[in-house]
Amino acid sequence: QNLNQIKYVRIGNVNVLNVTHLDSEMVRVTVPVAVQLGQQRVTGQTQDRQVNCPYTLTVQ
């Protein structure tokens, strides 16, 4: 919820350059080549706080 407030996204320790807001509950990102394979944490940043995704992303 409230994902329309997300300004930045990180996968692991790599910043995602393009974040597309589809609606308040969904964003679309392209996983950068620099992201390592395996389980990665996803975090977001609003103007005033960090948001942690409760799930991990599997990069293959």
DSSP assignment of 3-57, as one string?
A: GGG--EEEETTEEES-EEEEETTEEEEPPPTTSPSEEEEEEEE-SS-EEEEEEEE
Would you say the pTM of this structure is higher than 0.75?
yes
Domain span holding position 11: 3-59
Could you give the number of structural domains in the chain? 1
The pLDDT of 5-26, averaged and rounded, is: 93
**What confidence score (pLDDT) does residue 12 get?**
96
Mean pLDDT for all residues in the chain: 92
